[in-house]
Structure 1
């Protein structure tokens, strides 16, 4: 799509990772003459960016599950890196939102990044600290995503987005409620929830890709929001 078609369509606030009019930032003519903010908006709204976020969640989840007997330091590093990477993805994706909704996305991104830094700090690498930090991030993010989805009553796939937000809320509550003494149980639970959340993001990315494909085949001028 040419960048001369006018301003991007309003972003649906219930979409967790933004919206874009192309399938990637490097599509021919998609970013020609665009400013840094518009480039970030196109990048953050592409389905490939959402796919990258899903991979960034799945990989540490799989590693935690296949290596449940790893040391607490290794677990803290994996969780910390996951939070930092996800925060980076969400920071860029926030630019695909309307200015009024962008602040929420940026807040979530900063929350992930701060939580990742805390997990990597040696004095906080305890079972209780990891469960508190990770559970709180998932709980807050799930609540914000669910609230945004409820506010956007006409959004396609709204039920699925609500389901993903509910998954995050449940993950946060369970991790926060888990006894801090159970290191093995916490490790397996964190890995399981990372995989489940990563799969949910992967499905969102595929839905987004399908919408882009329908738009390119002439079904409409813009892909429907995920």
Structure 2
């Protein structure tokens, strides 16, 4: 327990990194002069550790899920494009967010980002545009990313909202297992299932983003009042 004289470094969950060090304004700690001269890695760390980055990831997950549920009878090509773009964009979010983690824990975040990007490319390839292939790829990504995120959360014992992060990772694991376990005879059923899981995961990340915003606001208020911060 230390008494801060200003915005203090604070470990915060991230949509993808879940363990960024952020100050009260959602950026990594450090004097203003250092922030002005920060290199690309430090800038990525501040960006990836902000609650708005987590919000962007949540929206990226939520929007495709809503579109799939609203138009479940669209062509398989449209579904492949939606899921492929979701995976690619989410991979980009996770790549940036990985830099908000400590160097020792950064590998898991970068690995998740690579898995998302590779899966997105596979979904956009024409030969793989079958509902079974899309379900297999998406389910595998959710399972792997959920396990890696859960492992990172368990390793960071001082992480705020650690229970939330573990809950999101558990939801991703369950989504991956369910999608991989179901038969592929019913394309409509699997399409709706994919859309439903995307919405659930997006809402979970949205709640986490709002919790992070509240925590950062409280941390900034406590720092300004000179109250002890962790």
The TM-score, its normalising length taken from structure 1, stands at 0.87
The aligned residue for residue 172 of structure 1 is 176
Comparing 154-163 with 60-69, greater Cα deviation is found at 154-163
- Secondary structure of the structure 2 residue equivalent to 1:50: helix
Could you list the runs of 5+ residues in structure 1 that have no partner in the other structure? none
1:168–1:145 CA distance, 2 compared to 1 (3 A):
same
The aligned residue for residue 191 of structure 2 is 187
1:137–1:159 CA distance, 2 compared to 1 (3 A):
same
Q: Report deviation, 1:33.
A: 1.4
Could you list the runs of 5+ residues in structure 2 that have no partner in the other structure? 1-5
CA contact (8 A) 1:80 1:119 kept: yes
Q: Does 1:71 align with 2:75?
A: yes
CA contact (8 A) 2:65 2:198 kept: yes
Q: Does 1:87 align with 2:99?
A: no
1:41–1:222 CA distance, 2 compared to 1 (3 A):
farther
Tell me the distance in 2 between the aligned counterparts of 1:202 and 1:196: 10
Tell me the distance in 2 between the aligned counterparts of 1:17 and 1:85: 18
The aligned residue for residue 118 of structure 1 is 122
CA contact (8 A) 2:44 2:99 kept: yes
The aligned residue for residue 140 of structure 1 is 144
Tell me the distance in 1 between the aligned counterparts of 2:228 and 2:186: 49
Alignment root-mean-square deviation, CA: 2.6
The aligned residue for residue 216 of structure 2 is 212
Tell me the distance in 2 between the aligned counterparts of 1:113 and 1:203: 25
- Secondary structure of the structure 2 residue equivalent to 1:70: coil
Q: Does 1:131 align with 2:140?
A: no
Q: Report deviation, 1:16.
A: 3.8
Per-residue deviation, residues 99-154 of structure 1 (Å, max 9, x unmatched) = 01111100000100000000000001111110110000000111111222222334
Structure having the larger proportion of residues in strand? 2
The aligned residue for residue 34 of structure 1 is 38
